[in-house]
Amino acid sequence: MGFPLSAILIAGAVILPVVLGEFFPATLTLERAFPANHRVELSELVRRDRVRHGRLLQDSSSSSSSSSSNGVVDFLVDGTFDPFVVGLYFTKVQLGSPPRDFYVQIDTGSDVLWVSCSSCNGCPQTSGLQIPLNFFDPGSSSTSSLISCSDKRCSLGIQSSDSLCSTQSNQCGYTFQYGDGSGTSGYYVSDLLHFDTVLGNSLIQNSSAPVLFGCSTLQKGDLTKSDRAVDGIFGFGQQAMSVISQLSSQGVAPKSFSHCLRGDNGGGGILVLGEIVEPSIVYSPLVPQQPHYNLNLQSISVNGQTLSIDPTIFATSSNRGTIVDSGTTLAYLAEEAYEPFINAINAAVSQSVRPVLSKGNQCYLISASPADIFPQVNLNFAGSASMVLRPQDYLIQQNSISGAAVWCIGFQKIAGQGITILGDLVLKDKIVVYDLAGNRIGWANYDCSLSVNVSTTSNTGKTEFVNAGQLSDNSSFRNEAYNSLPIGILALFVQIAILRTFRFL
């Protein structure tokens, strides 16, 4: 949330901070944020995402040794893309001594990990996700320490607009202002982050490393709402204050991470520090010296036909470009690309359905499966890397009329802005690899309920592979409404693999 370029869109539910307690129920009940018989208008989802747009496009100012080494770190994942159930993905982190649980939104569009603090003014007290809330108390952790303005990490944060300094208190703090008038502010704390690390052929539990994170003391606007509140935000950005950068600089984890977010109603998925290895992954280079994960989108194809869009529309500059952001629910196209895209979809389905407008959104009334009617879309990036979008990757079911379903284009237009943002609408049901050491992002369509192979390079120079799967019946992190579907807890089964074992390497 604090970027120079400024912020990104947030999942269909604004990154509401909320807090989860030390006790977590045996089952997690995810209630619909809206009644099952009431489909949210796309305009409401757009409004929620625009809150995040403000964070991206507005200037934001934010003002012990590890017990493991360069292994694969695994995180729990819960939540769903479905805005009618949750509308965001979140994970659990354990902070402090003794460790306490905090559930935070997974956000590749910001850098900082922050959670609500015990002294927070305006923080939600309850969550519509039916999870207990928790507040971090620095005074209750034996390993907690405050960060002064003279700390070099604070200085690095000032350079990336992730921190600010108070000359009165000499305390390193932050203030993140959002486009709708909401925001959060607080101060930075250093404490232990506890996690599971897989190294070699053993599962090391209760590993820990000191990290710097935000302690939120004030929240306002949409952040104070409880409908889908979580404890805070886990920024997976690439700047110096991100947890990814901190852990990799300590040699605790590789300078890479991967996720595979399930798009079905069961939700959940996979989130690891390390690179998921899959033969069909294609890579595109990151645009250098950008605060966000910017890629060079070169063209868009519908049914194999390249659309007539000036490629310079997608060029990256101070206020233009294509950003990958897991904190956004929908997807957004630069204004000049939006109409050609909609026209191409309409032309492809004109013989099967009649396009209709619903409050300014392009929708279709259909009685068959969208997969049988709608075309494949390809987003073509630098490096000959194409992102294949199936109909479910760009359509959202809005409601039903007389037994027929209303499906709407999930891509929205950013009027007056040359920014394209790839949110969970297109990121779900894909392996996405952020290889920061190699300055590239890779992806492949994938069934995220399956296990994956994760690689990391150990200190010995050998590449090790971990098989990451999902627990089933003993998973306590689940959606009770879909209790036959396991939600995203990773069961890590280690295997030392020789390169030749993987034919695709």
Q: From the DSSP assignment, how many helices (H) and strands (E) are in the chain?
A: 5, 33
- For residue 166, give the 3-state DSSP assignment: strand
Given the structure tokens 């890479």, which residue do they identify?
A: 256
The DSSP symbol for 148 reads B
Q: How far apart are CA 414 and CA 337, in angstroms?
A: 10
Position 498 scores a pLDDT of 18
Position 88 scores a pLDDT of 87
Q: What angle (nearest 5°) sits at the alpha carbon of residue 483, between those of residues 226 and 495?
A: 105
Alpha helices in 143-285 (DSSP H): 152-159, 243-249
State pTM to two decimals.
0.80
Q: Is 372 exposed, middle or buried (0-12, 13-18, 19+ CB in 10 A)?
A: exposed
Position 11 scores a pLDDT of 34
Position 329 scores a pLDDT of 87
Both tokens assigned to 232: 């805070």
Q: How far apart are CA 7 and CA 323, in angstroms?
A: 11
pLDDT in tens, the chain (505 residues): 333 323 333 333 333 332 223 322 333 333 334 444 445 566 666 655 655 444 444 333 333 333 334 678 889 899 888 776 778 899 999 999 999 999 999 999 889 999 999 989 998 888 888 788 899 999 999 999 999 999 999 998 988 889 999 778 889 999 987 655 678 899 999 999 999 887 655 667 678 999 999 999 999 888 888 888 889 999 999 999 999 999 999 988 899 999 999 998 788 999 999 999 999 999 999 999 998 999 999 999 999 999 999 999 999 987 789 999 998 889 999 999 999 999 999 999 988 887 888 878 899 999 889 999 999 999 999 999 999 999 999 999 887 777 788 999 999 998 777 899 999 999 999 999 999 999 999 999 999 999 898 987 643 344 445 556 543 233 334 333 323 222 222 222 222 121 212 212 2
Four-residue CA torsion sign, 222, 223, 229, 234: positive
What residues form DSSP beta bridges with 431? Answer: 260, 444
Q: Residue 179 is which amino acid?
A: G
Q: Is 477 exposed, middle or buried (0-12, 13-18, 19+ CB in 10 A)?
A: buried
Residue 472 and residue 491 in contact, taking contact as beta carbons nearer than 8 Å: no
Position 183 scores a pLDDT of 84
Both tokens assigned to 396: 């959202």
Q: How far apart are CA 171 and CA 161, in angstroms?
A: 16
Assign residue 55 a region: left if phi > 0, alpha if psi is -120 to 50, beta otherwise? alpha
Q: How far apart are CA 238 and CA 244, in angstroms?
A: 7
pLDDT tens readout for residues 257-278:
999 999 987 889 999 999 999 9
Position 31 scores a pLDDT of 34
- What the chain holds in terms of domains, given with CATH numbers, is 282-427 (2.40.70.10)
Q: Which residues are catalytic?
A: 107, 325
